[in-house]
Structure 1
């Protein structure tokens, strides 16, 4: 564990922002975003209670940073998808690997939904999904096909994270189950 002196030293080296984000992600994973407070994060990160506000201004600012980081990570995750099914599998894997980001990203009431950096990151991730849909599905309404693909991946990931698919998935890898669903519905 870092001492208060080490935390202050890290702050002066530019590590405070990351330390607070990491503490926030841990807290969200454990207790959900509703339980998040800047004062608690300062305690967890070993810094003064005012230090997180220096980088994030308020709770919504912190959650905006988490959502932005999440959409950037998702865009990177989707970048090398080989097809629509693979994009969906990567989406599900992202949710499993980054559950705190995933919880915050799609709850605009938690963050500043019009933040320019957030909008840019969200657009990059959305473009990746739209590209995968456009390459896989011939339709007169690509937007509707995109909604269907996103709904399948997002719904599956959400149900998986909330343990609602424990029995149906059983001992099979969630990625394999999702791929079977995508193949069934989109004939990829």
Structure 2
């Protein structure tokens, strides 16, 4: 898994192959096939790994957030994860979830549940879906804009990104 993650971050999903992973890991060309029957299975495993990591980060952010700052901390954690793992983040969200890989959906749903449970707190049930969709769109949009260089920031200045996220989430929470 670590060889595949490194290759993904160094190149792209298109350049990732089971043979390339084997070369990187220093094992025989057939060794990865014991774990992944094909490239799609490898990509699903990587996406699952990413969603599981994101889930853990979101739980940590939620649990350590100062009272009243939970949404800001969740948003900052989400965007920080995207900035720290850009290729994996793109794989997690740009690749369609294949129904034959239910573990990707399960892991993604778990991360989404951390966000949605907090977003809907105190919201009338008829507004739950709209509020979660709007909030997730805001945060995912911020992450994407940062990744694609569309928001001004100094390279490596995660504090600048976190302040931008704080400002956007706070402004939208008041509307």
2:48 alignment counterpart: 68
1:114 CA displacement: 4.0
Task: Tell whether 2:156 aligns with 1:160.
Answer: no
Q: How many pairs align?
A: 165
Q: Matches of residues 3-152 of structure 1 in structure 2 within 5 Å?
A: 21-80=1-60, 81=62, 82=65, 83-109=70-96, 112-135=98-121, 140-152=126-138
The SS at the match of 1:47 is coil
Question: Which digits, 9 at most, give the CA deviation of each residue in 1:126-172, with x for residues without a partner?
Answer: 1001012112656732111111111111111122122222xx33566
1:29 CA displacement: 1.2
Give the structure-2-normalised TM-score.
0.84
Structure of greater Rg:
1
1:113 CA displacement: 4.1
Question: What stretches of structure 1 move > 4 A for 4+ residues in a row?
Answer: 136-139
Unaligned runs of 5+ in 1: 1-20
Q: What is the aligned-residue RMSD (CA, Å)?
A: 2.1
